[in-house]
Amino acid sequence: MQSLPDSTHRLIEEFSRLPGIGRKTAQRLAFHLLKSEKDTAHRLSDAMIDMKEKVQECSICCGITEDDPCFICTDNKRNDSLLCVVESAPDIYAFEKTNSFSGKYHVLGGALSPLDGIGPDELNFDKLITRMKSGMELVIATNPSVEGETTALYLAKILGEKNIKVTRLARGLPVGGNLEYTDEATLIRALEGRTSL
């Protein structure tokens, strides 16, 4: 690929650093931008810089926002005594798309993972604890992974002593899934959590 112009080569390198973008896709993207109007590259470039300039962390929920505090934290119609704890900001938008959650959120910024050096001090636990008041419900919505489960148990332990109801998302069969191809751990959780019809 030494025969490519240097600047094209550099763009391919930069694209292939993005997650899920391999060498071939990076090349395809670079050639697409080469062929398209100058405007296309400028719009994409501006959008990128603009986002990096404007988006900041919400000082209350640690989610992403352009105006601090974010519009979810300042929304009076939302239930203040229901708090959903997620690992990362994109998780908030997964919930918001369902239009089914009327409480507020708190972003931990990851999950406990001692092997990767991520302990309680690296996550936004302090801010969460200052937000918790007696009588609130905390819905733990960490990922169903080892790290997510560890974080959920840790939270349940430190908050369970106060007068706070700690719940967690149900685990079971995903809607549209196929029983035949469901892994054992999921099936065990589905059995354990069975509900009466």
Q: Which residues bind its own copies (CB under 8 A)?
A: 1, 3-8, 10-11, 13-15, 17-21, 25, 27-35, 38, 40-55, 64-66, 71-72, 88-90, 92-93, 96-97
**Min dist. Cβ of residue 138 to its own copies (A):** 21
**Min dist. Cβ of residue 142 to its own copies (A):** 17
Q: How many helices (H) and strands (E) does the chain have?
A: 7, 6
Phi first, then psi: what are they for 178, rounded to 5°? -120, 125
Residue 15: partners with Cβ closer than 8 Å, 6 or more residues away = 21, 25, 26, 29, 30
The smaller minimum CB distance to its own copies, of residues 55 and 185, is found at: 55
The smaller minimum CB distance to its own copies, of residues 50 and 80, is found at: 50
**Min dist. Cβ of residue 73 to its own copies (A):** 12
Element at 29 (helix H, strand E): helix 23-35
The smaller minimum CB distance to its own copies, of residues 26 and 128, is found at: 26
The smaller minimum CB distance to its own copies, of residues 95 and 172, is found at: 95
Which of 112, 109, 105, 90 lies closest to 156 in space, CA to CA? 112
Q: Token pair of 73, please?
A: 């934290």
**Min dist. Cβ of residue 15 to its own copies (A):** 7
